[in-house]
Structure 1
């Protein structure tokens, strides 16, 4: 038996997601109230500017109060295909467009309270395009070797889950491509 949602109350509807309280009957018959973030999903990109260098962002994240290292990513618009979202976000955030794309995988970053799924892509054969940041995006674009990103993870300099997952998927992709 799958869990059954008996009642849902939207506590807050934001630009990108909603925060809801759901009364749920679980598989074991227990009925509980759960707080859930309902999210449309996102796409993240590992963009290679050369065979061994990729684009990383140093981006301010208000929720944690400081800048972090990330791969480009963004929220899916309603009904948007994840690949189209990835293509749009790469241009908007980095000022580059990718000619070659491959989906590497999907992750569910915080399944304890959110249904968000992030689709992870690799983009190659990049060409310059016009960067078009959202008003709330404060970021710098950097070129970093793939080896350096692995070292940054080992040193705790990259802590973002989608970025670590994306770089791991990329390491598998690089092994397959060798």
Structure 2
């Protein structure tokens, strides 16, 4: 039996009695999320574009790749292009799917679609009123160093950057 606990603008929380694969029953709390897309924007000079974004839940600012929630009936590719343009002011001409990851599979169904974005065209940043973002453009190698030095701590960004780095090296983009 599924019971609604909370419905907000981003998440929907339920409590559900379930039968597990071993035949036992238990009650689980579940967070339903519409999903998201995230992009590693790579410029022709080998630099990646990150955001330094205020995140209240973490108590400060995080370095991240541009990302955002899927709108209703929006496909992940369109979301990736839209969010990159809104957050960093670049239109992505070419998207390459890197992966689709679960963020917290123990209690949440959110899937983030990760992409490498190239063929960038400068447009204009269009932030939502609740977004506090500084754009950071750095050599890809420096972004990888930020991961090693624990300056990038956001999981989607770490995974996205590592997958994109490998792919960009393979394609000789960096």
Asked if Structure 1 and Structure 2 have the same fold, meaning a TM-score greater than 0.5 normalized by the shorter chain, the answer is yes
Q: In structure 2, what is the Cα distance between the partners aligned to 1:78 and 1:23?
A: 27
- Residue among 140, 160, 171 paired with 1:177: 171
1:136 Cα deviation (Å)? 1.1
> For structure 1, which runs of at least 5 residues remain unmatched after alignment?
1-6
**TM-score, normalised via structure 2 length:** 0.95
Tell me which residue corresponds to 2:136: 142
**CA 175–128 in structure 1, closer or farther in 2 if over 3 Å, else same:** closer
Whether 1:88 and 2:82 are equivalent positions in the alignment is yes
2:7 is the alignment partner of 1:22: no
**1:32-47 residue pairs with structure 2 within 5 A?**
32-47=26-41
Tell me how many residue pairs correspond in the alignment.
172
The CA RMSD over aligned residues, in Å, is: 1.0
Q: Deviation at 1:49? A: 2.3
How far apart are 1:50 and its partner, in Å?
Answer: 2.6
SS of 1:135's equivalent in the other structure is coil
SS at match of 2:58: coil
Please, what TM-score do these two structures have when normalized by structure 1? 0.93
Supply the distance in 2 between the matched residues of 1:135 and 1:49 (Cα, whole angstroms).
Answer: 27
Q: Which runs of 4+ in 1 moved over 4 A?
A: none
Structure 2: which 5+ residue stretches go unaligned? none
TM-superposed CA distance for 1:101, in Å, is 1.3
